[in-house]
Amino acid sequence: MKKTIGIIGSGISGLSASIRLSCMGHKVHVFEANSYPGGKLTSFKLGNYRFDAGPPLFTMPHYVDELFHLANENPRHFFNYYKKEIICKYFWQDGKKLTAYADKEKFFDEVYSQLGVDRKVLENYLKKAKEKYDLTSDLFLNKSLHKLGTFLSVKTIKALSKLSIFEIGKTLSEVNETNLKEPHLVQFYNRYATYNGSSPYSTPGIMTVIQHLESHYGTYIPENGMHSITKSLYELAKRKGVIFNFSNLVTEIILKEGSAVGLIVDGKKLFFDSVISNMDIYPTYKKLLSKRKLPRNIKYQQRSSSAIIFYWGVSKVFDNLDLHNVFFSKDYRKEFDSIFNKKDIYNDPTIYVNVTSKEIPTDSPVNCENWFVMINTCGDSGQNWDLEVKKLRKIVIKRLEAILGEPISPFIEEEKIFTPKTIEQRTNSYKGSLYGSSSNGLFSAFLRHPNFSRKIKNLYFCGGSVHPGGGIPLCLLSAKITTELINKN
């Protein structure tokens, strides 16, 4: 039966859900409080510099292509990208450097040359990560983790029979220390915990699957920047008949006899057969279902990390940098202790620098660069962010200048700053968390909110704060799981 469906929010998952449902023949209305689509995946300009506001990393692009194929369109007519030869450049304060090449042979040679680690060590490590992914992708990524049928499949039973390979009794860092030993390489692979806003000292060892995904699929750059993902999917959704309502604030999900039957939008009641929230799950319950008790797993589950982001227009070219660059802290354990336990800003943080003008020259004036400088932090709990930003800015510039061996401060001619509070205000992410809840814990995947409500019929959820998690690929998979559930009911 074809349905009329209301979607709250036009983040990447909401856009994807709208396309999938429209391709299934349903009538879809999307309501967005902002005047633009995309959620975190948007863009802005500072003077003559263009910046992607949100996620700077693009991998597994076939999930975007799949949406065009579903609509019987050729994605190359609307959205194009290319694979990066260099995934990322890494810098340590002791002078060590490492270039992560997409080509595995070159990467193995680089690791041996720079860190003295034999290729067999990495081959075995990545082989085991791939096996974890192959065994668990259906259970954790491709289907609802909260439906009994998922656990009754032959593939799931096979995965459970090989439980020891998942190393769930160890943390990611313990797995890396045991298998890799070399401290720089351990820190290199510990970093992947930040891909879902977690700590490598708390997230379980099964999370090495993230390393497999990046090393197997590589990283990509959309021809016109990350915001072109949003733009192309938004245009596709419109071509499929999705109706978008911008600057329309949803204030309540209408319930009747235990079912979601509509939305209150700017004071008007609108009725639908099903409702999907692409909002962060916490404000969905607190603001839109205020008469319902907040579920315990949402109330008490630890949030993911947030960030302070400096957007700098720099009137200089830095040849040592690539598209993605990471400058590691000296003591990673203390850094994550600050983020998740002390909830303060670490005084020697890891610094991520993204420079899209390296690949898209029009993103900055000639002989200039646009820097997206991100430092992972705790979420907003009332800190004096103006003071924290002032202190952190000095630390970041001093560290970068020391490692790059060149002045930076005199060349910053444009600046915009996001804090956890800014991120929450812009995207409605509770406490400015980048990925909803963290994966710090053995059962974190099972505690993440499902893509449907167990207590309210016809109410569904998608996006980074629910199953299977945050980041562009998982948000796209979240939409797939949610829409398949709707289509079955």
CB 185 within 8 A of CB 115: yes
Q: Quick check: 165 pLDDT over 70? A: no
Q: What is the pTM of this model?
A: 0.93
Can you state the percent helix, strand and coil of the chain, rounding each to 5? 45, 20, 35
Q: 132 falls in which pLDDT band (50, 70, 90)?
A: confident
Beta-carbon contacts of residue 404 (< 8 Å; ≥ 6 apart): 318, 320, 321
- N residues, the chain: 489
Looking at the chain, the whole-number percentage of residues with pLDDT higher than 90 is: 80
Q: What separation in angstroms does the CA of 448 have from each of 48, 288, 304?
A: 41, 19, 12
Determine the average pLDDT of the residues in 45-63: 96
Q: Using one digit for the tens of pLDDT, what is the confidence trace for 449-469?
A: 889 999 999 999 999 999 888
Determine the average pLDDT of the residues in 188-201: 94
Q: 174 falls in which pLDDT band (50, 70, 90)?
A: very high
Compute the distance between CA of residue 213 and CA of residue 176 in angstroms, rounded to an integer: 16
| pLDDT score recorded for residue 12 | 97
| pLDDT score recorded for residue 300 | 79
Determine the average pLDDT of the residues in 266-286: 96
Q: Quick check: 338 pLDDT over 70? A: yes
Range scoring the smallest mean pLDDT among 18-27, 63-72, 200-209, 401-410: 200-209
Determine the average pLDDT of the residues in 311-334: 98
Residue 483 in tokens: 């829409």
Domains, the chain, ranges and CATH? 4-41+228-301+448-488 (3.50.50.60), 85-218 (no CATH), 302-427 (no CATH)
Determine the average pLDDT of the residues in 236-249: 98
Compute the distance between CA of residue 436 and CA of residue 424 in angstroms, rounded to an integer: 11
Determine the average pLDDT of the residues in 175-202: 95
More confident residue, 201 or 302: 201
Compute the distance between CA of residue 52 and CA of residue 54 in angstroms, rounded to an integer: 6
By three-state DSSP, how is residue 172 classified? Answer: helix
| pLDDT score recorded for residue 193 | 93
